[in-house]
Structure 1
Amino acid sequence: MLPRNFTEDQIMFRDAYRKFLEKEVAPNVERWREQGIVDREIYTKAGEMGFLMVWPEEKYGGMGDEDFRFEQIIIEETANVYAGDWTNTLHSRLVGPYLTRFGNEEQKDRFLPKCVSGECILAVAMTEPDAGSDLAGMKATAKDMGDHWVLNGSKTYISNGINADLVVVAAKTDPENNPHAVGLFLVERGMEGFERGRNLKKMGMKAQDTAEMFFNDVQVPKENVLGDPSKGFIYLMQGLAEERLIGACGFIAAAQKAFEVTREFVMERKVFGKPLSAMQNTQFKLAELRTEIDVAQAHVDACVAAFNDGKLTAEDAAKAKLYTSEVLGRMVDEGVQLHGGAGYMDEYPISRMYTDARITRIFAGTSEIMKLIVSREVFSEGFTPYIDRS
């Protein structure tokens, strides 16, 4: 595999975070899956160690280093201990940046320190029963009442839905005159009219709390609006490239782990007196997957570098999300097949990885939506062959 060029500080960070996971996370994963939610304390423990939100400025409690590779390390190492259910990156790198990109100084001072420490857990509520990848179809509304907004509507499939203390809620602010006018509202735990449904049971990602949310005449103060209340749709679009990069990093990390456990299994499993790894079919299957994973990893690393330089496009992020989720799907499927009957047993990691992986082709935009985004680039007037790009 090609060298990845992490800095010395990042290598030390990886080692420290790996030890944290071994002590505080790995021993609890099974219990979290059984109870359907991670303990809130894991956020504060990660916050105390500086592993929750590393990028905010030091005055908010962070390291002040926005190099995405720190988050990439967190994603990779979390996957390595089968703890992808703990959506720490959703809190720290997907939702958190909304506060710094679009929030004012008062909002940052009020919320960021508690987010960095883990006292305040974050979620974002976009998806509705009839509006998933198509955000323009949302029905939640917010009405300007002068000194506050009144929020009504419902959201579903919200990750961190039970644990969240602060939810970035998207709602239409002028549905009659401008259906594309959307605001982002900071809804806090305990606000009157804000209710949560049950913790939804899922095929995989068992420890990730996922819930419905209901907003019945919730009075949201003006100081809890992020930026311009008519430009939320634009704000959401700006965050989607990073969300898909986060996904791609996690998907390829999971594929790496699935490959590792499958390789170990086929080297130990005997068939007709020989290790399964001695069979040419096994060798060819894993050679193909090793190649796909390494190529995907190189593309993801290039996307991380582009993101750090402010040059990651929506199209390239979509390609990364599309390809890594598909590679992961192939890897876990082949992993189960090569495990044989054992692969269908919950006690084997590959079984859980198989069910956990299925959602990756759906959330953060389905594979079909990713193809649509890429096709727009392919058929645009400004499209140039790769060899012609500077």
Structure 2
Amino acid sequence: MGGIDKFGTKEQKDRYLPGMAKGKILGAFGLTEPNHGSDPGSMETTARPHPSKLGYFSISGSKTWITNSPIADVMLVWAKLQSTGKIRGFLIERAACPPGALGTPAIKNKNGLRASITGMIQLDECPVPKENMFPNIEGLKGPFACLNSARYGIAWGTIGALEDCIDRTRTYALERKQFKGNPLAKYQLVQKKLADAVTDAAYGILAATQVGRLIDEGKALPEMISMIKRQNCDRALANARKLQEIFGGNAVSDEYGIGRHVANLFVTQTYEGQSDIHSMFLLLENPA
């Protein structure tokens, strides 16, 4: 929805956004490819004038790790124009694709984000009308603008997951008795792990709040979002792994939830720009 709202024509906005806002139209965002994750500029998905349908593009290529692709009604797919090599955004409607032109198989047996419906977008000479292309945005500026919005949300969500880890661990440490009937929470090694996690959660919330205020004021820079996305993901994952130790063998059981958070937080550290990539962004923008 963010991409359509920011870069779409009035007709595209009127056609898709009301239904998407009501949950009647499901969307997906297709940028990552099997051979190009952190390097989207090298994407292989291409768009060329359709050989037999006037006013249409023919799009071929594959996207992967796409949330909602198996159930999406409309997919925002980024592809290179064969004629210019420039990246453009296209809105592909499932119902309008002929048989064999669009495939969206689900990715099964994931270790993390198991509740998310994740899949691929496979395009084979898929016809897309020219009016479904974003008219005034080209290159990586378009997808990166969408990713910045997602990254800011992730900076909040990871701290929310960490807060749930803290709550679950505190409850467990108070209830679990070891060594002459003492609760685990009595021991300073356990207390320190909780104190470290609470501290990082507080700092993460404050950082995300401040960047949100700057966004509202039109003063935020992309590297600010890279910084809080990277830091909050990294600290949430590191603390969740340390808190997991307090559960001992019970940590591997779904009943306690802590292992699920650890698996999911690893994914958040990876998607929308892996932490090492965000480190590079920060160094490139702020060289020593």
TM-score calculated relative to the size of structure 1: 0.70
Whether the 8 Å contact between 2:47 and 2:58 is mirrored in structure 1 is yes
Partner of residue 93, structure 2: 188
Q: Which amino acid aligns with 1:324?
A: N
Partner of residue 3, structure 1: none
Listed as ranges, the matches of 1:25-174 within 5 Å are: 96-145=1-50, 147-174=55-82
The answer as to 2:211 corresponding to 1:303 is yes
> d(CA) in 1 for partners of 2:75 and 2:152?
22
* Superimposed CA distance per residue, residues 49-106 of structure 1 (whole angstroms, 9 cap, x where no aligned partner): xxxxxxxxxxxxxxxxxxxxxxxxxxxxxxxxxxxxxxxxxxxxxxx11111111111
Partner of residue 212, structure 1: 120
* Superimposed CA distance per residue, residues 130-185 of structure 1 (whole angstroms, 9 cap, x where no aligned partner): 1112111100000134511110011111111112111000000036xx44x11100
Which one is further off, 197-206 or 99-108? 197-206
Q: Which amino acid aligns with 2:275?
A: S
Partner of residue 325, structure 1: 233
Whether the 8 Å contact between 1:335 and 1:343 is mirrored in structure 2 is no
CA positional deviation for 1:232: 4.4
Whether the 8 Å contact between 1:183 and 1:228 is mirrored in structure 2 is no
Partner of residue 277, structure 1: 185
Partner of residue 75, structure 1: none
> d(CA) in 2 for partners of 1:347 and 1:157?
27
CA positional deviation for 1:281: 0.9
> d(CA) in 2 for partners of 1:104 and 1:164?
21
Whether the 8 Å contact between 1:243 and 1:364 is mirrored in structure 2 is yes
> d(CA) in 1 for partners of 2:106 and 2:5?
31
What RMSD in Å do the two structures reach over aligned CA positions?
Answer: 1.4
Partner of residue 201, structure 2: 293
Q: Which amino acid aligns with 1:233?
A: L
Whether the 8 Å contact between 1:196 and 1:212 is mirrored in structure 2 is yes
> d(CA) in 1 for partners of 2:268 and 2:24?
28
Whether the 8 Å contact between 1:156 and 1:212 is mirrored in structure 2 is yes
* Superimposed CA distance per residue, residues 319-350 of structure 1 (whole angstroms, 9 cap, x where no aligned partner): 11111111111122112100111111122111
Q: Which amino acid aligns with 1:123?
A: A
> d(CA) in 1 for partners of 2:55 and 2:167?
57
Extract structure 1 runs of 4+ deviating beyond 6 A.
Answer: none
> d(CA) in 1 for partners of 2:48 and 2:182?
70
> d(CA) in 2 for partners of 1:369 and 1:112?
32
SS across alignment from 1:321: helix
TM-score calculated relative to the size of structure 2: 0.93
Gaps of 5+ in 2: none
Instruction: Count residues in correspondence.
Output: 281
> d(CA) in 1 for partners of 2:274 and 2:209?
22
> d(CA) in 1 for partners of 2:201 and 2:22?
35
Whether the 8 Å contact between 2:31 and 2:143 is mirrored in structure 1 is no
Partner of residue 154, structure 2: 247
> d(CA) in 1 for partners of 2:46 and 2:136?
15
SS across alignment from 1:198: coil
CA positional deviation for 1:249: 1.0
SS across alignment from 1:337: helix
> d(CA) in 2 for partners of 1:200 and 1:377?
38
* Superimposed CA distance per residue, residues 18-56 of structure 1 (whole angstroms, 9 cap, x where no aligned partner): xxxxxxxxxxxxxxxxxxxxxxxxxxxxxxxxxxxxxxx
Partner of residue 336, structure 1: 244
> d(CA) in 2 for partners of 1:277 and 1:369?
38
